[in-house]
């Protein structure tokens, strides 16, 4: 366990080596991006900025975690190819290293949005306790996606750009800048979107909004299906990955 924890933290330190702010560049970048985009879209959509800015900020930060973990997962085995060929260690170590690195970035970004929410007069409620299981389920989903995409992309290099394009399209179909209830009779678009449910199990507790049972069911079901696929791929192709790199 300490191997992927140490390697993930090492990646963060190397990325911001000789930087004054170090990892807190994540915090500053998030603050600027959420502030600019939140203000712009609140004007375009006619939303009250005090409610809209925290909503967009939390959704954007979580989406970045989901999409970055998936896209980096596509190259996690390829990027660690030199280690896989020389050192015998569980392939999941490289996936956990990548997820841990992105989770650190999430922990640097999410508090900024919470502070913005408090600045606009909103307070954390008892619902915030559900943030812990929400982050756990979100992170575990990132783990299985890293395993599945990592193995598939090691064998088929065309999978990576396909995943990248799917997430670009998925961003516009996911309630990040818009609300599901605004679609009215077309709200089913959000209801069948697993990304929406993964975002809601984290965004809801922070905003003090009750999370629908449907979102928990979708998120946990995705977790079970994803890890089943990951287990199958690892059991069948674990020994072949080194030859594909």
> For the chain, what's the residue count?
245
Q: Which residue has the higher pLDDT, 192 or 139?
A: 139
Bigger pLDDT: 21 vs 140: 140
Q: Quick one: tokens of 128?
A: 């915030």
Domain span at 13: 2-244
* pTM of the full structure: 0.88
Total number of domains in the chain: 1
pLDDT at 110: 83
Model confidence at 198: pLDDT above 90 = yes
Task: Name the average pLDDT for the chain.
Answer: 84
User: What was the pLDDT predicted at 223?
Assistant: 94
Name the residue with higher pLDDT: 15 or 159: 159
Predicted confidence band at 16 (pLDDT cuts at 50, 70, 90)?
low
Helix (H) or strand (E) holding 122: none
Q: How confident is the model at residue 241 (pLDDT cuts 50, 70, 90)?
A: confident
Pick from 212, 168, 176, 213: which is nearest to 196 by CA?
Answer: 176
Helix axes 131-155, 194-207, angle to 10 degrees: 150
């Amino acid at each position: 366990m300490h191997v992927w924890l140490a390697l993930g933290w090492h990646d963060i330190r190397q990325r911001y080596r000789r930087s004054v702010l170090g990892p807190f560049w994540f915090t500053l970048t998030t603050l600027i991006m959420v502030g600019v985009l939140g203000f712009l879209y609140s004007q375009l959509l006619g939303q009250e900025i005090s409610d809209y800015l925290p909503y967009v900020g939390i959704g954007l930060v979580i989406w970045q975690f989901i999409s970055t973990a998936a896209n980096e997962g596509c190259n996690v085995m390829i990027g660690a190819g030199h280690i896989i060929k020389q050192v015998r260690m569980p392939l999941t170590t490289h996936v956990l290293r990548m997820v841990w690195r992105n989770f650190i970035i999430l922990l640097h970004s999410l508090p900024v949005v919470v502070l913005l929410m408090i600045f606009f007069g909103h307070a954390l409620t008892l619902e915030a306790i559900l943030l812990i299981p929400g982050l756990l389920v979100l992170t575990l989903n990132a783990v299985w996606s890293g395993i599945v995409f990592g193995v598939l992309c090691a064998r088929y290099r065309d999978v990576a750009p396909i995943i990248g394009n799917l997430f670009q399209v998925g961003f516009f179909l996911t309630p990040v800048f818009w609300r599901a209830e605004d679609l009215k009779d077309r709200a089913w678009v959000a209801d069948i979107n697993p990304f929406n449910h993964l975002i809601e199990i984290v965004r809801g507790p922070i905003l003090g909004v009750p999370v629908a049972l449907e979102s928990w069911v979708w998120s946990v079901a995705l977790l079970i299906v994803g890890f089943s696929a990951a287990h199958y791929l690892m059991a069948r192709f674990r020994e072949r990955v080194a030859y594909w790199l």
